[in-house]
């Protein structure tokens, strides 16, 4: 199974579980540089797959009278070259050179024999009836070279050498292609495990799925992908894009192996998920005996006399921050922003340990959003843009001076909000990818209405 993963890295990256009637909100492109990388790391698993047992040769001696048994043992396989190339509108072509070393057990003494072989195979990319991507070998051939005995060794009799070579070719000819096909079948088993959910939070997941078959050209492959977010097992549904997301052809870094385009629709879905899950809500509390803590009735009573009248003894205060409206992400060229509109309710603990609402505020916070990629996840950090906007929504303590409330928000609300939000966005959301595959040296570019990630690839066994 491990060998299949190495050789099939590209195919794993390219294909994802499929659901129908979906519009793409993500586009993944892989170029020829990625194929060269796969070629480099795919040699070892291919060598392992080509380890084949060759049965003994049974024939007569040179005089045609005495039965002879010549045992043949494969010692090693070396794959000095492996090349992968896109086949437009089809899949990937594989070409590999392999050198086999055998030990031939003769009556006198064993002798080593080397045999070069060139493998050619075409891998076709399709989908089965349930929408699972499937890769199959549609054509395969093996071209055997001339067997050779290392210099300085006693040579086999030419007739015996010819018989041994013919026997090896006969026994291995079909098995080599079966080994390649078996490697792909192992990959398909592994690919089937990709049908599942990747956690986003304790009760939320994301699933990427291909919307259509891959678009393959001579220099790359492009996939239209739908990202479905789930909360408590139910999909997060937004109105469908009026126009399907199309990633412009020349975006991102020119020499990147992979280019991933993420649409505005995906960001809207992710923010709706966070809002519905309550992940953006928080409670801000303080220590009652802290000298600089305004979150108690004694400190607030100095600003609002009615609070001092209702609470003659210092009592702790809590800010309950709740997002009733979905956050809004805006993507402009080289600039991403995030707007939150929480309701902030200020509550004090009464003598009976129940909380009493003092007043509530409608708040608007504009944030600068910086995006980055770590291994397989898109992460974000925020900072406040401009002043926090607020309006008094309700009050149980008389007239509230907005200027005094604004000072309170800047002191006890802004930093806890940023800490909470950055910790949440720092957890990240999984990008299209597969087990053991990471994005390497990624760059993130913000464009009007979408984000582009340009990256190399790194496969970790």
pLDDT of residue 64: 52
Distance in angstroms (rounded) separating the CA atoms of residues 185 and 204: 32
> Within a domain: residue 154?
yes
Distance in angstroms (rounded) separating the CA atoms of residues 79 and 48: 10
pLDDT (tens digit per residue) in 395-450 = 999 998 888 888 777 778 888 999 999 999 999 999 988 778 889 999 999 999 99
Q: Give buried/exposed letters for 223-251 (b at 16+ CB in 10 A, else e).
A: bbbbbbbbbeeeebeeeeeeeebebeeeb
Pairing label, strands 389-395, 355-374: antiparallel
Residues 47 and 182 in one domain: yes
Do residues 247 and 261 make contact, with C-beta atoms less than 8 angstroms apart? yes
pLDDT (tens digit per residue) in 54-106 = 887 766 555 555 457 678 888 899 999 999 999 999 999 999 999 999 888 86
Supply 180's token pair.
Answer: 């390649």
pLDDT of residue 157: 64
CA atoms within 13 A on the CB side of 439: 24
Lowest mean pLDDT of 96-110, 238-252, 290-304, name the range.
290-304
pLDDT (tens digit per residue) in 358-383 = 999 999 999 999 999 998 899 999 99
pLDDT of residue 404: 83
Residues 291 and 426 in one domain: yes
Q: What angle do CA 332, 223, 437 make, to 5 degrees?
A: 90
Cα distances (Å, whole numbers) of residue 121 to 10, 142, 184, 266, 360: 15, 9, 11, 38, 69
pLDDT of residue 242: 67
Residues 449 and 332 in one domain: yes
Tally of CB atoms within 10 A around 199: 12
CA atoms within 13 A on the CB side of 404: 11
Residues 282 and 377 in one domain: yes
pLDDT of residue 319: 92
> Within a domain: residue 383?
yes
pLDDT of residue 15: 40
Helix extents (H) in 230-349: 264-277, 297-303, 305-310
> Within a domain: residue 25?
no
Q: Find all residues with CB under 8 Å of 22, minimum gap 6, and list them.
A: 209, 211, 226, 228
Residues 253 and 185 in one domain: no
Residues 264 and 371 in one domain: yes
Segment 160-186 mean pLDDT:
85
Distance in angstroms (rounded) separating the CA atoms of residues 444 and 25: 17
Distance in angstroms (rounded) separating the CA atoms of residues 461 and 302: 63
SS3 state of residue 88: coil
Tally of CB atoms within 10 A around 206: 21
Supply 72's token pair.
Answer: 């043949």
How many folded domains does the chain comprise?
Answer: 2
Do residues 299 and 412 make contact, with C-beta atoms less than 8 angstroms apart? no
Q: Find all residues with CB under 8 Å of 18, minimum gap 6, and list them.
A: 127, 131, 132, 133, 209, 210, 211
Lowest mean pLDDT of 4-18, 176-190, 261-275, 317-331, name the range.
4-18
Tally of CB atoms within 10 A around 256: 24
Residues 164 and 313 in one domain: no
> Within a domain: residue 228?
no
Q: Which residue has the tokens 């505020």?
A: 361
Residues 144 and 266 in one domain: no
Residues 187 and 257 in one domain: no
Counts of helices then strands in the chain (DSSP H, E): 10, 23
Averaged pLDDT of the chain: 84
Instruction: Give the distance from CA 366 to its chain's centroid.
Output: 30
Distance in angstroms (rounded) separating the CA atoms of residues 321 and 204: 21
Phi, psi torsion values for 411, nearest 5 degrees: -85, -45
> Within a domain: residue 212?
no
SS3 state of residue 43: helix
Q: Write out the residue range of the structural domain in which residue 128 sits.
A: 32-192
Distance in angstroms (rounded) separating the CA atoms of residues 121 and 132: 22
Residues 263 and 392 in one domain: yes
Q: How far apart are the first and last CA of the chain?
A: 11
Supply 191's token pair.
Answer: 């690919």
Distance in angstroms (rounded) separating the CA atoms of residues 223 and 141: 29
pLDDT of residue 163: 80
> Within a domain: residue 271?
yes
Tally of CB atoms within 10 A around 130: 8
Residues in the chain: 461
> Within a domain: residue 217?
no
| CATH number of the domain encompassing residue 452 | 3.15.20.10
pLDDT of residue 356: 92
Distance in angstroms (rounded) separating the CA atoms of residues 86 and 98: 21
- Report the candidate in 418, 412, 295 with the shortest Cα–Cα distance to residue 358: 295
pLDDT (tens digit per residue) in 175-190 = 999 999 988 887 777 7
- Report the candidate in 411, 410, 404 with the shortest Cα–Cα distance to residue 306: 404
Residues 278 and 383 in one domain: yes
| CATH number of the domain encompassing residue 108 | 3.15.10.10
H or E stretch including 34?
helix 32-41
Rounded to the nearest 10 degrees, the angle between the axes of helix 414-427 and helix 402-412 is: 40
Residues 180 and 271 in one domain: no
Cα distances (Å, whole numbers) of residue 359 to 314, 347, 399: 17, 7, 10
pLDDT (tens digit per residue) in 182-219 = 888 877 777 665 666 788 888 899 988 878 888 889 98
> Within a domain: residue 218?
no
């Amino acid at each position: 199974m491990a060998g299949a993963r190495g050789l099939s890295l590209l195919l794993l990256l390219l294909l994802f579980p499929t659901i129908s009637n979906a519009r793409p909100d993500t586009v993944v492109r892989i170029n020829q540089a990625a194929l060269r990388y796969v070629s480099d790391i795919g040699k070892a698993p291919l060598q392992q797959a080509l380890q084949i047992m060759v049965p003994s040769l049974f024939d007569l001696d040179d005089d045609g009278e005495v039965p002879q048994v010549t045992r043949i043992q494969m010692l090693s396989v070396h794959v000095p070259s492996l090349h992968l190339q896109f086949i437009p509108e089809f899949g990937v072509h594989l070409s590999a050179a392999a050198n086999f070393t055998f030990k031939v057990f003769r009556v006198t003494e064993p002798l080593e024999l080397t045999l070069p072989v060139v493998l050619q195979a075409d891998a076709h990319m399709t989908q089965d009836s349930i929408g699972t991507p499937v890769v199959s070998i549609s054509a395969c051939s093996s071209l055997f070279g001339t067997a050779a005995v290392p210099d300085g060794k006693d040579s086999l009799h030419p007739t015996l050498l010819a018989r041994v070579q013919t026997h090896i070719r006969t026994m291995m000819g079909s098995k080599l292609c079966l080994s390649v096909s078996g490697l792909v079948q192992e990959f398909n088993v592994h690919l089937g495990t990709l049908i599942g959910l990747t956690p986003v939070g304790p009760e939320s997941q994301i699933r990427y799925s291909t919307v259509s078959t891959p678009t393959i050209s001579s220099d790359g492959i492009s996939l239209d992908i739908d990202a479905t977010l789930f909360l408590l097992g139910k999909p997060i549904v937004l109105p469908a894009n009026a126009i399907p997301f199309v990633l412009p052809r020349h975006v991102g870094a020119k020499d990147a192996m992979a280019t991933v385009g993420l649409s505005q629709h995906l960001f809207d879905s992710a923010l709706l998920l966070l809002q519905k899950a309550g992940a953006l809500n928080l409670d801000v509390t303080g220590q009652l005996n802290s000298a600089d803590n305004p979150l108690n009735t004694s400190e607030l009573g100095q600003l609002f006399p009615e609070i001092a009248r209702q609470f003659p003894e210092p009592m702790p205060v809590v800010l309950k921050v709740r997002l009733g409206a979905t956050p809004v992400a805006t993507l402009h060229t080289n600039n991403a922003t995030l707007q939150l509109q929480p309701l902030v309710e200020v509550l004090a603990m009464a003598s009976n340990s129940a909380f009493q609402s003092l007043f509530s505020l409608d708040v608007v916070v504009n944030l600068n959003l910086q995006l980055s990629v770590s291994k397989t996840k898109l992460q974000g950090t925020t900072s406040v843009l401009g002043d926090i906007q607020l309006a008094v929504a309700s009050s149980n303590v008389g007239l509230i001076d907005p200027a005094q409330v604004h000072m309170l928000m800047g002191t006890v609300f802004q930093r806890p909000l940023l800490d909470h939000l950055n910790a949440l966005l720092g957890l990240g959301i999984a990008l299209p990818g597969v087990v053991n595959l990471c994005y390497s040296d990624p760059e993130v570019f913000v464009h009007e209405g979408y984000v582009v990630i340009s990256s190399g690839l790194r496969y970790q066994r």
